[in-house]
Amino acid sequence: MQLTIFKRLTLGYGVFVILLIGLGGYVSFQLKHLNRLTRAVVLQDGETVRQAETLDSMTGSLARFEKKHLVTGDSAFFTRFQEIRARFLENHATLQNHVDSERLRAHLDGIGRTVTTYFQLIDRERELMGEGNYRRADIYHDRKADLLEQIRLSLQAIMVQARQARDEKILLSSRIRVHVIRVGIVAILAGGLIGLSISFFNARQINGAIKRLQAKTHDVADSRFSTLPPIESPPEIAALTRDFNCMCSRLEELNTMKEDFISHASHELRTPLTAIREASSMLLEGCFDERPDRQRHLLTIVNGECERLINSINRMLDLSRMEAHMMAYAFKAIDIMTLMRTCVLKLAPIAMAKNVLLELTPCSGLPSVTADEDRLRQLMDNLLGNALKYTDSGGDVRITLQSDTQTDGFLRVEITDSGCGIPRSELNSIFDKFHRIDNGQDTERGTGLGLSIAKHIVRAHGGKIWATSQNGSGSTFAFTLPVA
């Protein structure tokens, strides 16, 4: 799976954030636990111990006041005893509601029963004392002492258990605190390590790819347009590399075109310019001052070479624009028959001068085509010009048009001549720029660009162009155009 830079960064930070959230959740859970424990220590166990201590001290007071009353018979002591007894029972009931442990509750139930027996003995003792049997009243002395001892022991047991529970909770709190600190440290270290590893891996991969692109940019600046080996990941940089390679290929193509253009242009321009310079030098040196006919001849050469020069430059510029996809086309519906007639009319004088029959086969009911009129004229000029150029006197050049089911939405134009023909092996390469065939014809020198321009024009219209020929017995150039 290829991760985008955005996803990689999100993943890196995401892992860290998830760990922090997890850690936060864990810490808050443990804090709640600690809070519960603290509340239990303070409100439950601490309160139990405090209440048990109060009951213990009340037990002592009960024994003291009961004894004083027994010895002195003073009812004030008994009143005090009664007050403490009421408070004891009240506190005992409160403590019973307060405790949540079964064992403590069992102790308290036991205390309840024992203290009831104790108070019954006291009541019995009071009855005996009322009857004047002070001596007999004393018979409960040992029994009361036992009961009070039982109460005290039970209260001691409650205090011990409550303290134990409190200590256990404090110990557990301390363990939780240590655990939380450990988990926190481990989570932060693990999160940091994972986050750092992801960041390091991403940074290394992205940085490596960017460095390669940067180095390639320097190459491009130094006119070295070789493409980069593909980079698979991250996808953004992979796409950037693909675009960069497209740009390099295009620059390489343009560079080759530029070099081709310069080499052919210098060759094409040098010949006519040399002829012009030689002819003009001769005229300036007064070589033919006495021979106006020779002077005229030289001027004709200069004029002809200028014409050729302009023609060559125009063709080269046209082809460069087409190769760079910078030629603008204004497509519209065109009546092809009318356009063909004007092309034939334009070249008729040349045909007549060469004594070549130039004929447009009439054809009615043809559909209009979608084309750029100027470029279509240029195409016909090139093909008809060639046909006339390579056909000897007495020959013929025919143009036929047809729109049938075979051409499938296209109209086909054929220019057939009875000229020198083209070798089979050259039928494809003649459409390459600057490609010329030495067919032994004594024809004027061409630029080798006409057919290349024709190919670009037809392709820009969405059509096809091809040539067929029997060497020595004429050629046919055919192309198709989309029907409007």
- Applying CB under 6 A, the residues found at the interface with ligand ADP are 382, 386-387, 390, 417, 419-420, 422, 430, 435-437, 439, 446-452, 475
**Amino acid, res. 372:** D
451 touches 430 (CB < 8 A): yes
Residue among 159 and 454 whose Cβ is closer to ligand ADP: 454
Q: Which long-range contacts (CB under 8 A, 24 or more apart) does 459-465 make?
A: 460/322, 460/327, 460/329, 460/372, 460/375, 461/329, 461/331, 461/370, 461/371, 461/372, 461/375, 463/410, 465/431
Residue among 288 and 434 whose Cβ is closer to ligand ADP: 434
**Amino acid, res. 163:** R
Residue among 33 and 464 whose Cβ is closer to ligand ADP: 464
Report, in this order, helix, strand and coil percent for the chain, each rounded to 5.
70, 10, 20
144 CB-near residues (< 8 Å, 6+ apart) = 63, 66, 118, 121, 122
| N residues, the chain | 484
Residue among 327 and 483 whose Cβ is closer to ligand ADP: 327
Rg (CA), the chain: 59
Whole-Å CA distances, 347 to 127, 353, 402, 421: 158, 10, 22, 20
Residue among 371 and 465 whose Cβ is closer to ligand ADP: 465
141 touches 84 (CB < 8 A): no
Residue among 257 and 282 whose Cβ is closer to ligand ADP: 257
Residue among 378 and 475 whose Cβ is closer to ligand ADP: 475
Torsion sign over Cα 21, 23, 26, 31: negative
Residue among 220 and 306 whose Cβ is closer to ligand ADP: 306
Q: What's the min distance (Å) between Cβ of 305 and ligand ADP? A: 15
CA distance 141 to 129: 14
Q: What's the min distance (Å) between Cβ of 371 and ligand ADP? A: 20
82 touches 66 (CB < 8 A): no
Burial of 454 (0-12, 13-18, 19+ CB in 10 A): buried
Q: What's the min distance (Å) between Cβ of 467 and ligand ADP? A: 7
User: What element of type H or E holds 356?
Assistant: none
457 touches 315 (CB < 8 A): no
Q: What's the min distance (Å) between Cβ of 411 and ligand ADP? A: 21
Residue among 28 and 470 whose Cβ is closer to ligand ADP: 470
Q: What's the min distance (Å) between Cβ of 454 and ligand ADP? A: 7
Q: What's the min distance (Å) between Cβ of 385 and ligand ADP? A: 8
The residue with its CB nearest to ligand ADP is 446
Q: What's the min distance (Å) between Cβ of 415 and ligand ADP? A: 8
Q: What's the min distance (Å) between Cβ of 424 and ligand ADP? A: 13
Q: What's the min distance (Å) between Cβ of 365 and ligand ADP? A: 29
Residue among 45 and 417 whose Cβ is closer to ligand ADP: 417
Residue among 161 and 382 whose Cβ is closer to ligand ADP: 382
CA distance 387 to 474: 9
Q: What's the min distance (Å) between Cβ of 310 and ligand ADP? A: 14
Other beta carbons less than 10 A from residue 194's beta carbon? 16
318 touches 453 (CB < 8 A): yes
CA distance 266 to 273: 10
Of 394, 395, 407, which Cα lies nearest the Cα of 475? 395
Other beta carbons less than 10 A from residue 179's beta carbon? 12
- Three-class secondary structure of residue 475 per DSSP: strand
Task: For residue 284, give both structure tokens.
Answer: 């300036």
Residue among 316 and 451 whose Cβ is closer to ligand ADP: 451
Q: Report the DSSP pairing between strands 332-334 and 369-371.
A: antiparallel
Q: What's the min distance (Å) between Cβ of 382 and ligand ADP? A: 6
- Three-class secondary structure of residue 355 per DSSP: coil
Other beta carbons less than 10 A from residue 52's beta carbon? 27
Q: What's the min distance (Å) between Cβ of 290 and ligand ADP? A: 38
Phi and psi of 370, rounded to 5°?
A: -95, 115
